[in-house]
Structure 1
Amino acid sequence: MNKASELNNYFRINSEFVKKDESDVEKFYVWTHKSPNINLYPDIIFFKCLVTSIEGENYKLKEILPETNSEYIVKKEHLFNCNKMVNINSHRLNDMVHQNSAEVLNTLALRYEKNYIYTIAEPMLISINPYQLIDVNMNDYKTMNTHELPPHVYTYAKDAMLDFINTKNSQSIIISGESGSGKTEASKLVIKFYLSGVKENNDISKTLWDSNFILEAFGNAKTIKNNNSSRYGKYIKIQLDENQNIVSSCIEIFLLEKIRVVSQENEERSYHIFYEILRGMSEEMKNKYNIKSEDEYKYISNKSITIQGY
């Protein structure tokens, strides 16, 4: 069979192929973002449907997830293929047959429900913030083959270290995401991993770790999504010697949200430092430096939302 005739035996949906079997059309599932019920389920992007009939470019669907059983017609260009089964124990999205947006989101959601917050999408690591501490033995990632362990930030930190040792070239780790996605904690884990490898105690290592608390005080604030949101970007440079000891480090700050000092949205706060000073001072110190109560400061009054630890 030549290539052209072989492709005729497939449905083509969103540039992916699904085997064509007219007698088995009712077992053909798809995702769509064109459901008429989308306003009823604002938290759902893609709806899973059963294909009941096909007429040219028009697909008649029966909605099964959520289980509304609604029937409607959607054009082929608005459909995404479903994988026949989702192996939530597979840590790699690259292993999926269909890697479209709908399947990726569905797989990530199912894995998150099983407390798999890290998933590999080479060359990236996708992390979903669990908003809780997860106990992980960092020593396993330092001493074992990390690719035989569940994916973690430590996996990528170690890979960068090994590449640095083997190639003698500088390595970069980019941590990106929206507010509340866990960037601050991820960067701490990377630093923690490298500090744990320091063979000799030195002041540089301690200073680098302690700088996190200073930066968070002056550069982090409560937002609607996140009680400890970084309102700036940072570039951390760490230099190591041949024994993997940290010999120098540098942190460059950029894009600080300066407007937050004088203006915040409802249910948000200014930077932690203002509240920490006021709440950490003794009455004696307040009297000595003429420090007033929060309500008397315009830029933080009515923003005195109490946050544990900040």
Structure 2
Amino acid sequence: LFQVNGHNPGSDGQARESLREDLQKFLGGEVLLHQLDDLTKVNPVTLETVLRCLQARYMADTFYTNAGCTLVALNPFKPVLHLYSPELMREYHAAPQPQKLKPHVFTVGEQTYRNVKSLIEPVNQSIVVSGESGAGKTWTSRCLMKFYAVVATSPASWESHKIAERIEQRILNSNPVMEAFGRLSRDTRQLVFVLALEPRCAFLSIVSNDS
């Protein structure tokens, strides 16, 4: 980074000292770091401040953080009750502005779902899930597929509920086969899921990319 918080670290000693003061001031409020739900609010933006913010949120059992239009997900490496429950899915689906709720993979899922179903101008959607091996890409893709299966049918009737369960199970059962194609040695392990949950949803893809 050539400039951090308006300073050029390589310009002179005064600029470096000013940056150091900004870092100390920011990290001095570490108690509040877990409340920053968007990394663009971190000031100054350095590797240390970003990592400390994510660490504070992880310790507070907050595993999703926005970074502008990108969602950063941390693998909790433990069961977290209600983090992916159907009730929470419906809460994000029913919210007038889901982006105002806490950062979550369901926010991304709901926004793409609304873009596809838009009455004004439906737009094909793709979601890129990227990360190191073991970061949770497959789990995230499964959560997205489950989310679409749940919200694509009305919960008003028992019949609709059973239809949603069948769709969900079929999609999840196909995951190992689709993932096998993503592990071919010839490519970069790009994994593409195409979901057609209803006639108007002509194309909805989830792309999982191993970088």
Deviating beyond 3 angstroms after TM superposition, the runs of 4 or more aligned structure 1 residues are 56-59, 202-206, 213-216, 218-221, 240-244, 247-255
Residues 116/161 of structure 1: CA separation in 2 closer, same or farther (3 Å cut): same
Residues 248/210 of structure 1: CA separation in 2 closer, same or farther (3 Å cut): farther
TM-superposed CA distance for 1:213, in Å, is: 4.4
Residues 252/104 of structure 1: CA separation in 2 closer, same or farther (3 Å cut): closer
Residues 242/143 of structure 1: CA separation in 2 closer, same or farther (3 Å cut): same
Alignment partner for residue 161 of structure 1, among 106, 113, 116?
113
Match of 2:66 in 1: 120
Larger Rg: 1
Q: What TM-score, normalized to structure 2? A: 0.68
- Tell me if structure 2 keeps the 8 A contact 1:204–1:248: no
TM-superposed CA distance for 1:115, in Å, is: 1.0
Q: Secondary structure at the match of 2:191?
A: strand
Tell me how far apart the structure 1 counterparts of residues 127 and 206 of structure 2 sit (CA, whole Å). Answer: 14
Deviations 1:228-287 (A, max 9, x none): xxx94311112344566xx788999999xxxxxxxxxxxxxxxxxxxxxxxxxxxxxxxx
Which structure shows the bigger proportion of residues in strand conformation?
1
Which structure shows the bigger proportion of residues in helix conformation?
2
Q: Aligned pair 1:16/2:4, yes or no?
A: yes
Q: Matches of residues 262-301 of structure 1 in structure 2 within 5 Å?
A: none
Structure 1 portions without partners, runs of 5+: 1-12, 20-29, 31-55, 60-74, 222-230, 256-310
Match of 2:174 in 1: 211
- Tell me if structure 1 keeps the 8 A contact 2:178–2:192: no
Tell me how far apart the structure 1 counterparts of residues 43 and 170 of structure 2 sit (CA, whole Å). Answer: 47
Tell me the percent identity. Answer: 23
Residues 159/184 of structure 1: CA separation in 2 closer, same or farther (3 Å cut): same
Number of residue pairs matched by the alignment: 180
Alignment partner for residue 124 of structure 2, among 170, 173, 178?
170
Q: Aligned pair 1:181/2:135, yes or no?
A: yes
Tell me how far apart the structure 1 counterparts of residues 207 and 71 of structure 2 sit (CA, whole Å). Answer: 24
Tell me how far apart the structure 1 counterparts of residues 200 and 115 of structure 2 sit (CA, whole Å). Answer: 15
Residues 174/242 of structure 1: CA separation in 2 closer, same or farther (3 Å cut): same
Q: Aligned pair 1:106/2:69, yes or no?
A: no
TM-superposed CA distance for 1:101, in Å, is: 2.1
Structure 2 portions without partners, runs of 5+: 154-159
Tell me how far apart the structure 1 counterparts of residues 72 and 58 of structure 2 sit (CA, whole Å). Answer: 11
Greater RCO structure (CA 8 Å; 6+ sep): 2
